[in-house]
Structure 1
Amino acid sequence: MIRSYRDGRVRVLELDRPATRNALTGAGLDELEAAVHDVEEPVVYLHGAGAAFCAGADLDEVAALDRTGAEAFARRGQRVARTLEDSNAVVVAGIDGAARGGGLELALACDVRVATPDATVGEPGVTFGLFGAWGGTVRLPRILGEGDALEFALSGRVVDAETALRMGLISRIEAEPRAVAEEIAANPADTLAVLKRRLRDGSDRETKERLEAEAFAELVDAHGDEIAASRE
């Protein structure tokens, strides 16, 4: 599910389930977390195989969860996002095609988000009674400001790359996002690590993430039939 290989000073992590638009199961989240922990290179390039970055959680798996399982699933996604955010490496998300729900939330945990002109991003889960719950309610207000974060999340709208750039959801638009990872990797590794730590130093996340996971579990419990129907 996760391909990991070294390319010079960059560790490439590829989400490799193109038939599902790289939707992540619980096992896939664990695999991604382990791959990030194993990184020794100064820069990570995270991207998706095929025509999408990541569709978020595998909803076939989510639809089968009970309340306890749903909360645990959300916590797994949050843990992966924290691992990306807290990694000593600079993590660059290369977004080509769709980034939805938890997929967008993983990208928000990355240090730099670079999209192709064909990229689209959104949190459309609200339209069938859900949301990503991999740290989005923590990071969206920090990145967009509270008002824009509320509008974006509550509407469920999907935006193109140009709109995402204007909003601040992505950093750049490039035909080849990987080139940005290579550009960053050309800088001294120790300086990159120090800069990341200083720029990332912020407030506590634990309480917000606990409440987010609990809210996610409540919605899975309340909207199980709708979630299942959305996969038909």
Structure 2
Amino acid sequence: MIRVADADGYRIVTLDRPDQRNALTPAGLESLEAAVTDCPEPVVYLRGAGEAFCAGADLSVVADVADDEAAVEPFVRRGQRVADAIEDSSSVVVAGIDGPARGGGVELALACDMRIATPGATFGEPGVTFGLFGAWGGTVRLPEVVGLGDALDFSLSGRVIDAEEALRIGLVSRVVDDPESVAASLTENDHRALELIKARVRDRGPKADQEDSEVAAFEELVAAHADELRELGK
């Protein structure tokens, strides 16, 4: 279900159920969380096998949840926890989206630090068409990423958008033929700086605390690169 391979300076995590459009089971979610949180590399590249990025939750799992009211909250909390683990990882997580991303697949992508699409990528939150919505943190992250108006349009309509529209509204930051090359290029940057920049940009604490943490992080990097900085200043 989840395939992990370490490349030159980054980890490749593949959602590997191509016959099911990489739909996620509870076991797959657990494996995905482990692959990201246990990563020693500065960058994680998340992709789907075959012709889809991820169709979201396996519909057979959703059906089982519908038959057991007590299973609804654990189902939602598990997905939220995995999305939070991606967001909170010390590694920079890059989603490479080729083909369809639907429902929970969009939510996983939203938790990533960068979303890079191919021209063939498409996105949709179809839950509303059968009376549901994305509850793995999607209603929290989507307006943060694309703004309130586009978030409501996207989630209330259930419509599918292509890569160009996703780029226009900010759901993805680039449309390229080879998203993995973007992940690979990040490893050329200072690894500790990548970690600290992610932590600072994602910090939602009080402004004064954020600024104190920003000072501390900058001081750490200056101390670590003092010699190089002196050379640059000559």
TM value normalised by structure 2: 0.85
Counterpart for residue 32 of structure 1: 32
Counterpart for residue 120 of structure 2: 118
1:66-215 matches, cutoff 5 A: 66-202=68-204
SS in 1 for 2:101: strand
SS in 1 for 2:53: strand
- Higher normalized contact order (CA 8 Å, seq sep 6+, divided by chain length): 1
Amino acid in the other structure paired with 1:84? I
Does structure 2 retain, via aligned residues, the 8 Å contact 1:54–1:98?
yes
SS in 2 for 1:64: helix
SS in 2 for 1:23: coil
> Could you list the runs of 5+ residues in structure 2 that have no partner in the other structure?
207-234
Offset from partner CA, 1:167-188 (integer Å, 9 cap, x none): 1000100100000001111111
Amino acid in the other structure paired with 2:23? A
Q: 1:193 Cα shift?
A: 0.2
Alignment partners' CA distance in 2, 1:130 and 1:113: 24
Offset from partner CA, 1:91-140 (integer Å, 9 cap, x none): 00000000000100000000000000000011011101112211100001
TM value normalised by structure 1: 0.86
Alignment partners' CA distance in 1, 2:134 and 2:24: 12
Alpha-carbon RMSD = 1.1
Alignment partners' CA distance in 1, 2:163 and 2:205: 29
Does structure 2 retain, via aligned residues, the 8 Å contact 1:21–1:51?
yes
Q: Percentage identity across aligned positions?
A: 64
Q: 1:203 Cα shift?
A: 5.7
Amino acid in the other structure paired with 2:168? R
SS in 2 for 1:28: helix
Alignment partners' CA distance in 1, 2:58 and 2:84: 20
Alignment partners' CA distance in 1, 2:108 and 2:72: 18
Q: Which moved more, 1:79-88 or 1:128-137?
A: 128-137
Q: 1:16 Cα shift?
A: 0.2
Relative to 1, partners in 2 of residues 1:146 and 1:19: Cα closer, same or farther, differing over 3 Å? same
Alignment partners' CA distance in 1, 2:13 and 2:53: 12
Does structure 2 retain, via aligned residues, the 8 Å contact 1:43–1:89?
yes
Aligned residues: 204
Alignment partners' CA distance in 2, 1:17 and 1:173: 24
> Could you list the runs of 5+ residues in structure 1 that have no partner in the other structure?
205-232
